[in-house]
Amino acid sequence: MALTFNQALGIHPQALSLRGRRAEVLAANVANADTPNYKARDLDFQTVLAGAKSDQLSLTRTSDCHLAAPGPSENPELKYRVPSHPSVDGNSVEPDRERAEFAHNAVNYQSSLTFLGGRFRSLLTAIKGE
């Protein structure tokens, strides 16, 4: 029985990386809170993670001229947030909501980190055999 890192660590590395990407998108929303015509965006975490979890279908490139079709985990689909109230300057960022989402995402990132740390500790225990 071969134990690979992928098996040992489970979904957590992908989840961590996605949380990092989502944090980046949310940070951009907060930074652009006063930019006219900026539309707030977000990452649909569940969908993207489901895409990362499932076996990826890849397109076969029969010619060098074909463009590479990136898998779902590398290019998560960004969606625009539906604002709950309109603004005159066309900006759809609601700072309170973005901050709440960012804090939520940060806590989830930390929990992913904790899970991952636990897996590493288990591996270390297995290696040392104590």
Tell me the C-alpha distance between 129 and 46, whole Å.
Answer: 37
Least distance in Å: CB of 48 to other proteins?
12
* Residue 23 sits in the site that holds other proteins (CB under 8 A): yes
- Neighbouring residues of 79: CB distance < 8 A, sequence distance ≥ 6: 41, 42, 43, 44
* Residue 21 sits in the site that holds other proteins (CB under 8 A): yes
Instruction: Sketch the per residue contact string, 102 through 121, with other proteins: x for CB under 8 A, - otherwise.
Output: xx--x--xx--x--xx--xx
With tokens 């098996």, the residue in question is 7
- Neighbouring residues of 108: CB distance < 8 A, sequence distance ≥ 6: 19
Name the residue nearer to other proteins (CB basis): 62 or 96.
Answer: 96
Instruction: Sketch the per residue contact string, 38 through 67, with other proteins: x for CB under 8 A, - otherwise.
Output: x--x--------------------------
Q: What are the residues facing 33 on neighbouring strands?
A: none
Name the residue nearer to other proteins (CB basis): 52 or 62.
Answer: 52
